[in-house]
Structure 1
Amino acid sequence: MTVHARKAMLRAGTVLATLALSPALFSGAIRAQEAATQNTAGQTAAAEAEAAATATSGTLLDVVVVGAGQEKVAIDTPQAVTVLDAEDLERIQARSVGELFSEVPGATVIGSSSVLGESFNIRGIGETLSSDETRIIMQVDGVNKFFEQYRMGSFFADPELYKRVEVLKGPASSTLYGSGAMGGVISFTTRDASDFLDPGDVFGGRLKTTWDSNANGWLGSAIFAGRPVEDLELLGAFNYRQANDVVDGAGDKIDDSDFTSLNGLAKARYTFGADKDQSVWGSYSQWTSDEDNQNYDQLEWGSSFGDVDRTVTDQTAIIGYDNAFTGNDLLDVKAQVSWSKTLIEQTNQDEICYSPVYCTYPFGLASDYSYETWQAKAQNTARLDLGDSLEAFVTTGVDAQYQERRNPRYFATYTQPGSSSHAEGYTTIAGGFAQAEFLWADRVTVIPGMRIDYTNLDPTSYRSGGVLVDNLDSSSDVGYSPKLAAHVKVTDWLGVFGSVAHTERLPSLDEVYAGYRVNDVKKELSNNVEGGFSLSFDDVITAGDGVRFKATAFRNSITNFYASYWDSTTSSVVTDVLENAIYHGLELEAGYSSATWFASAGASLIRGENEVSGDYLKAIPADNAFVRLGYVFADYDLTVGYKGEFFAGQDLVSGSENATGGYALHNLFAAWKPEDGMMAGSEVRVNVDNVFDREYRNHLDYDNGAGRSFKLSFARSF
């Protein structure tokens, strides 16, 4: 598709969204109220368990976790896990995926205010100019998403497509998700037709529009769900979002924070079998942005890399099969195959002058950066009855992926495949895993696990001085990820937990083949220990209320740590291999909920040191905390609240990294969702972010954050 065709499609999408959307009003009674009425057809066991839990306490720590083994509420996992469900995502009203993480202790977005400059950091691991995409695994509906282009972000999507985000922190996630997840895992779940269909419904959906005063941004969203026959569910979702440049607290525009994006999702699921315990399903999603005259550098927006016209397309397609084998405790099978591609096409790239007499096109007249990945995985969970009060759930599985990385750079007379810092090639990964969860008397949970991954890197040809060279050998290695975790309910209100996990990150193409040579790089080895305790109290102030608290401390020791950074002297990415890097810290989460009041809070303190030199590690976030407090006017179906975000100054820096000052952000939100009358099924939300228009900069960002923003959204379900 040509650039002009893409722009025409974007304009057409704007018209369609405008025609489709009518003013729709909405609310935001807390999760506790919604759980009492939600029981839509096709709800999973996880959703039903979550509804039962949130009906009592309604806190983030009572949301069911589905990505850490057997379904359990977050407070009972022997790992630090934060889950944002559909209500959380609606309440935040994020203009980009990165804004969703303001309430996830230990995790933050890094990079810039541009939607094309966002990456992630978990527990201090994650830096924009390194191969951290392999240290943090990102998934959408179980599909690994990977993109790496220096001076760009690593994940491109719209928050409106998702109904759930799970952040699993630390290397213990490697067992189920893949060796090398030293920081952890971020798992996104897209919307389903059953989210919009009640029992007996043939057709349903939602129309929504959102306006943001800062940057005069707006969103148009249309979701259509159908059940044309009893066992077939269909979903189609379409979103168009645009914004001008965001303004910071000083009133200055933030470069390249303007954007337009067109994205959509199509899903189908057919359920069959005598017990309706089997299903086949498929989905396709796409996110596209097409912008002219952008800075090549989406992080610092320096002029030294010039401007480009840039089109970004991210696609994911999945076919899956589930079989619960009703009546057979030894079988519960899930399998899927998928295809994913992230492509950035850059044209009209500027000539860059390094001196008055030396000018060149270092990235070509045009260039592409693409990652295309085929994946397949299958797993089975068996339930074993081992005697009185003792049972086990054993999950075993295999997965594999084949990834093709391309970076053609187009010159007047030839095409250069890749560069000295961005080699083209293929990555093949095959792995197997097993994890058992032993549960005794509903009090003690012990989880041993093991994963083994084989990785092969195969570089393609490259050009040196205009001459084609094809003499690099492939490289392969094996990574191991064992773990042992335990959780004990000492009393009905006190729980203690801990885990020991080891994982090995296999080098990336850039690390092995940097500089057009085969580098003898070793695996990164991570040894992580974490532990903590949790508190649960019900009927504390009023009948039916609940208080939850969880504290987690961790220490992650990494051998052969590859720390990459931009060297302004040589104008290149330089990698230092640290003999031993130590990350350690503390994460706190708390929540309270009653029929009228609700509150949540979280805090994170992270440190990182080079154990040999004693220097601080880069990319350590500032100490931070948040608190959210709200009240439900049940008679009016109205919820109002306040959220504060507090950041300490960060001066534990090294090298060229700059210290940053502390700041506090104050935000207000309100939501109305009438349950009766002609407006039933409508929603309206109002947010005021950064009420006092504070000028600030996140320590891991290269630019200032957004100033005061008024956000208004209208939606109507049908």
Structure 2
Amino acid sequence: MPNRITRGGRLALPVALSMALPATAQQTGAVELPPIIVQSKRNVATDSAASVTQIDGEEIADRVPDTIAEIVDSVPGVTLVNGGTPSGSGINIRGFGANGTYGTDQKVLIQIDGASVGSEELYRIGTQLYTDPALFREVEVVRGIAGTLEYGSGAVGGLVRLDTIDASDLTGGDVGYRIRQGLQYSSNGDGLTSSTTLGWQLSDRWEFLANYTWREQDDQDDGSGTTINNSASATPSSLFKIRGQITPDQSLTLTYTETSASDRDVPYDSFSTVGGAFGNVDRDIDSSTAALTWDYDPASPLVQMQVQLTYASQTIDQQYIEGSSAFAPPGGYDVVNADHDYETTKLTVRNTAQLTTGAVGHDLRTAVELSRRDRLDANSAPGGQDDRIALFAVDDMRFGSGTTLTPALRYESQRVGNDAAGDFDNDALMGALTVLQEVGGGVSVFASAAYTESLPIIDDLDPASANFPVYMETSEKARTFEVGASWDRGSLLSSGDQLEIRANAYTTALWDVTSYSGVTGVDLDGFELEASYSHGSGFYVDLNGNIQDGKARDSEELWRGIPADDLRVTLGKRWGEALDVSWEVHAAAEVEDAAVTSPGYAVHNLRATWRPELGSHGDDLEVRLAVENAFDRDYTPHLATRPAEGRNILVGLTKTF
């Protein structure tokens, strides 16, 4: 009889919270108060059938993140694996992505300005998403397959898209230059960050941006005061970007980002806090992306063309520290001494056409995409080349009845191989269909069905493996069904307030599995909730929740990638543009299975942003204060391989000159 698996206590969060709202009295002749802004931290996508969440630059800054992962952790269905450090961390979406063995399973796509990054299955090295939060103006998270077929295949968990900042974000489009200087200190680990950005509007047609960010911290302490070994980091990053309007209907954008890290005498296993059997290494990492984008937008609704060439490169050099492991042979294991070098080049030509057929309006996006991934041989993993051609079409069809129907198709053809294993040819046809129906009164219902395939990867090009060549001729298949409803209503309780709610349930099946040992299929079910409410007084509430369950088809055990059920509630108050104060509670349920029990927890985070009015440029000064894990809770999130950091007080100062 198989073991019975339970999830300890579906998330229960009886929270009694209150906030006193100060009354404001107006007196004749008094100083005019700033206008009230009806706005919560984040908008809810009530007009989309796909599960999409956008995080803008203001929220990125308010969260005072140290890593990219810490920007997206408040999105329902998104869970971090050791997200507080760039090394040994990863992003899990709906049970797929990072895990405690590999930083990725190829089922969560990550793109920086269109360049595909962090996609190699390197043993115990993490996601390899080395970049800095200060470089970005917006992050978009797509959960599930629907909505991802424009960007790649195999995204069973979803997609994270990051867009870098523009010079006009500083200059407002006015000719001249502005400099933004940011300084940040964090008490837990004595973290220091300096970010300097130059935005230069050369003319009304050309702009230039340069950023240099230095971010470092020592080892942090957990909630019990114990040092979390292997949590120190130092990551200098830079960004260069130039945008120009060549003609009234043509523009050109060139972007380059780079981040490096040098770690000395650290555990090879970046998920762990000690060297263990593998021992310690000196590790140098250099990660860079480049994107060249040409946009052509003539006065024709049938032509809105974009041609984009992207390049992503990463090198990881490692050298074993002799004597750091009592189990390793002289010189260390092969995997510990492995040097990795891989790069991805991609050319995408896409067009958006707006047209009408009868009573139906169309936004038709079509594209062809050519990509090449090169990976050098390492003494622990094969190298090779993966060439792909993809064609895709997505059509947003709007009917007069308030119905939006979006069919999507993607065809992808692949040739992957190396000298030792030979070449393998594979192809796949994938598709999705979403429908959104406006019911009335701000209520919409939606549903989607999506299918995708993960084509074979370079990592399995090993003739000595028992699974070769079956894995090189087998694609992993997945399908997801979703159904949900949303409500967007203004002036609900009082004039000018705003309520947005979105709830959706989904079921996902994965089969022909090659990514996980001892698993042939996975079945998951989940429920996600997003809501926000803002009042004319400046009071706001944000809520995000996720419940998920599932198992491997080969056993009755809980699927190893399932995150804890969780709920995140934020209560906040704004006083015009000047002050924003919020209290965030993140609660997670206990997770219990045959292998491990992860206790539940509740963590409190406090944040405040102050923009003092000091003259004509008073809005250019921002002061931020945050207290994370305010009650110093000692806990380890489910899926994490090391404890979470204890209380951390962060102070940030940003000034634009």
The two structures have a TM-score, normalised by structure 2, of 0.90
CA shift for structure 1 position 229: 2.2
**Matches of 1:484 and 1:185 in 2, distance apart?**
18
- Alignment-derived partner of residue 382 in structure 2: 423
- Alignment-derived partner of residue 664 in structure 1: 602
Match of residue 147, structure 1, among 98, 101, 120: 120
Structure-to-structure mapping, 1:96-495, within 5 angstroms? 96-111=67-82, 113-126=84-97, 127-130=99-102, 132-145=104-117, 146-154=119-127, 155-273=129-247, 276-300=248-272, 301-325=274-298, 327-350=299-322, 359-363=330-334, 366-388=337-359, 390-408=360-378, 418-419=379-380, 422-441=381-400, 443-460=402-419, 470=420, 472-495=421-444
- Alignment-derived partner of residue 621 in structure 1: 563
Q: Deviations over 1:636-682 (max 9, x none)?
A: 8111110000010001x35xx42200000011111111345264410
- Alignment-derived partner of residue 77 in structure 1: 48
Whether contact under 8 Å (1:423, 1:514) holds in the other structure is no
1:606 aligns with 2:576: no
Match of residue 584, structure 1, among 504, 515, 525: 525
The code of the aligned residue for 2:588 comes to: F
Bigger drift between 187-196 and 473-482 goes to: 473-482
- Alignment-derived partner of residue 28 in structure 2: none
Whether contact under 8 Å (1:319, 1:338) holds in the other structure is yes
Q: Deviations over 1:288-324 (max 9, x none)?
A: 1112111111012342111111111101111110011
Instruction: Name the SS of the counterpart of 2:174 in structure 1.
Output: coil
- Alignment-derived partner of residue 532 in structure 1: 484
Bigger drift between 424-433 and 514-523 goes to: 514-523
The code of the aligned residue for 2:605 comes to: N
* Change beyond 3 A, Cα 1:644–1:269: same
1:61 aligns with 2:61: no
**Matches of 1:477 and 1:576 in 2, distance apart?**
24
**Deviation above 3 Å: which 4+ runs of structure 1?**
54-59, 111-114, 130-133, 348-356, 364-367, 514-517
**Matches of 1:352 and 1:511 in 2, distance apart?**
30
Give aligned-pair identity as a percent. 27
**Matches of 2:499 and 2:519 in 1, distance apart?**
45
Structure-to-structure mapping, 1:496-535, within 5 angstroms? 496-513=445-462, 515-516=464-465, 518-521=468-471, 522-535=474-487
**Matches of 1:514 and 1:584 in 2, distance apart?**
37
1:717 aligns with 2:648: no
Q: Deviations over 1:61-86 (max 9, x none)?
A: 35xxxxxxxxxxx2111011111110
Whether contact under 8 Å (2:184, 2:652) holds in the other structure is yes
**Matches of 1:449 and 1:684 in 2, distance apart?**
45
**Matches of 1:514 and 1:524 in 2, distance apart?**
20
**Matches of 1:84 and 1:336 in 2, distance apart?**
24
CA shift for structure 1 position 367: 3.5
RMSD: 2.1
**Matches of 1:353 and 1:160 in 2, distance apart?**
37
| Structure 1 or 2: more helix by fraction | 1
Q: Deviations over 1:324-352 (max 9, x none)?
A: 11x20100001111221011111344357
Bigger drift between 172-181 and 136-145 goes to: 172-181
**Matches of 1:699 and 1:609 in 2, distance apart?**
16
CA shift for structure 1 position 445: 0.3
Whether contact under 8 Å (1:280, 1:319) holds in the other structure is yes
Instruction: Name the SS of the counterpart of 1:61 in structure 2.
Output: coil
The code of the aligned residue for 1:452 comes to: Y
Instruction: Name the SS of the counterpart of 1:561 in structure 2.
Output: coil
Instruction: Name the SS of the counterpart of 1:429 in structure 2.
Output: strand
Q: Deviations over 1:452-490 (max 9, x none)?
A: 111222124xxxxxxxxx4x2222211221111100110
CA shift for structure 1 position 192: 0.7
Whether contact under 8 Å (1:500, 1:528) holds in the other structure is yes
CA shift for structure 1 position 616: 1.9
The gaps in structure 2 that reach 5 residues or longer are 1-35
The code of the aligned residue for 1:429 comes to: R
Whether contact under 8 Å (1:179, 1:479) holds in the other structure is no
Whether contact under 8 Å (1:57, 1:544) holds in the other structure is no
* Change beyond 3 A, Cα 1:391–1:365: closer
Instruction: Name the SS of the counterpart of 2:365 in structure 1.
Output: strand
**Matches of 1:581 and 1:365 in 2, distance apart?**
31
- Alignment-derived partner of residue 29 in structure 2: none
Whether contact under 8 Å (2:277, 2:327) holds in the other structure is no
Instruction: Name the SS of the counterpart of 1:90 in structure 2.
Output: helix
Whether contact under 8 Å (1:294, 1:308) holds in the other structure is yes
**Matches of 2:648 and 2:152 in 1, distance apart?**
39
Whether contact under 8 Å (2:102, 2:124) holds in the other structure is no
The code of the aligned residue for 1:298 comes to: S
Instruction: Name the SS of the counterpart of 2:59 in structure 1.
Output: helix
**Matches of 2:325 and 2:230 in 1, distance apart?**
22
Whether contact under 8 Å (2:106, 2:120) holds in the other structure is no
**Matches of 2:281 and 2:331 in 1, distance apart?**
15
The code of the aligned residue for 1:426 comes to: Q
Structure-to-structure mapping, 1:627-642, within 5 angstroms? 627-634=569-576, 637-642=578-583
**Matches of 1:627 and 1:671 in 2, distance apart?**
18
Whether contact under 8 Å (1:111, 1:128) holds in the other structure is no
1:683 aligns with 2:657: no
**Matches of 2:186 and 2:277 in 1, distance apart?**
32
The code of the aligned residue for 1:613 comes to: S
CA shift for structure 1 position 56: 6.0
CA shift for structure 1 position 198: 2.2
* Change beyond 3 A, Cα 1:233–1:289: same
**Matches of 2:585 and 2:184 in 1, distance apart?**
23
**Matches of 2:479 and 2:344 in 1, distance apart?**
29
The code of the aligned residue for 1:605 comes to: I
CA shift for structure 1 position 355: 5.8
Whether contact under 8 Å (1:353, 1:360) holds in the other structure is no
* Change beyond 3 A, Cα 1:128–1:370: farther
- Alignment-derived partner of residue 463 in structure 1: none
- Alignment-derived partner of residue 38 in structure 1: none
Bigger drift between 371-380 and 112-121 goes to: 112-121
CA shift for structure 1 position 354: 7.0
Instruction: Name the SS of the counterpart of 2:408 in structure 1.
Output: strand
* Change beyond 3 A, Cα 1:364–1:59: closer
**Matches of 2:619 and 2:431 in 1, distance apart?**
51
CA shift for structure 1 position 621: 0.4
**Matches of 1:101 and 1:112 in 2, distance apart?**
10
* Change beyond 3 A, Cα 1:675–1:628: same
Whether contact under 8 Å (2:121, 2:459) holds in the other structure is no
Structure-to-structure mapping, 1:17-56, within 5 angstroms? none
* Change beyond 3 A, Cα 1:123–1:302: same
